Amino acid sequence: MEEWIFDTHAHYDDDAFDEDREELLKSLASLGIGRIVNVGSDLAGCRGTLALTEQYDFIYGAIGVHPTECAEITEDDIQWIKRESAREKVVAIGEIGLDYYWPDVDRETQKKWFLRQMDLAREVHLPIIIHSREAAQDTYELMRQAHAEEIGGVVHCFSYAPEMAKRFVEMGFYIGIGGVLCFKNAKKIREVCEQIPLDRIVLETDCPYLAPPPHRGKRNNSSYLRYVVPMMAEIKGVSAEEVIHTTRENAFALYRMQNGE
């Protein structure tokens, strides 16, 4: 299969896939999906991610602690992430960042561990996957404080205005876009897609979350990127093949995979 899609952000360790994980993952190649980065959001998810990278040759991993999961983590946990990040198929630290939508973890704790995990990424020479929800300015300021432009990475599941996207792109970051692009009320992310160069965009699902129509509200999976690609192609005024090819090359660059390896 010549043209295949790279899903840069998935959560196949999630229990939503417990009943049919193996069957689904084995079907993805025939549905146009050639590579996936599975992303940890807590320590259990990181362990699940590492197991998936061992079981499937087309799955790579990112490990880190999500802002809503960071209340109980310790420096020992950070050292564990550091050790495991040396694995060949671990390609990023993430997902990390700030989430002010959910009030479970206070903002200072979130900021502390966001900064610490950015420092960790610098130590281990890996890019970062940033989760940022209702925290645009603080995310940007902490990235500047940590000199994130020297670390690199992606702001995933992007939800802010085009002006904010341009600021992240100016720092050298990619913008992750998925099923939300196909939502009827997705004016803002469509404007982002229109205004950000295609060579700074990567495709992602965030599955099992954020399935595009006609599956909205149901479990998402990587094959549903087939609904996102034509929408992006229409917005950018290019072919679907160009969207697939360029976003795949972007993903290789983001995760520093030499020649697609």
Instruction: Tell me, letter by letter, the H, E, C secondary structure of 5-35.
Output: EEEEEECCCCHHHCCCHHHHHHHCHHHCEEE
Domain parsing of the chain, residue ranges: 5-260
Amino acid 1: pLDDT: 42
For CA atoms 144, 145, 149, 155, give the dihedral sign. negative
**132 three-state secondary structure:** strand
- Per-residue pLDDT tens digits for 49-64: 999 999 999 999 999 9
Amino acid 258: pLDDT: 72
Amino acid 259: pLDDT: 60
Amino acid 33: pLDDT: 98
Q: Which two tokens stand for residue 67?
A: 């802002």
- CA distance linking residue 67 with residue 132, whole number of Å: 9
Note the residue count of the chain: 261
**pTM of the complete model:** 0.97
Per the listing, tokens 């602690």 go with: 65
* pLDDT beneath 50, residues of the chain: 1
Name the CATH superfamily housing domain 5-260. Metal-dependent hydrolases (3.20.20.140)
C-alpha to C-alpha distances, 215 to 1, 64, 210, nearest whole angstrom: 25, 29, 9
Amino acid 3: pLDDT: 85
Q: Which of 146, 236, 252 is nearest to 195 (CA)?
A: 236
Amino acid 2: pLDDT: 61
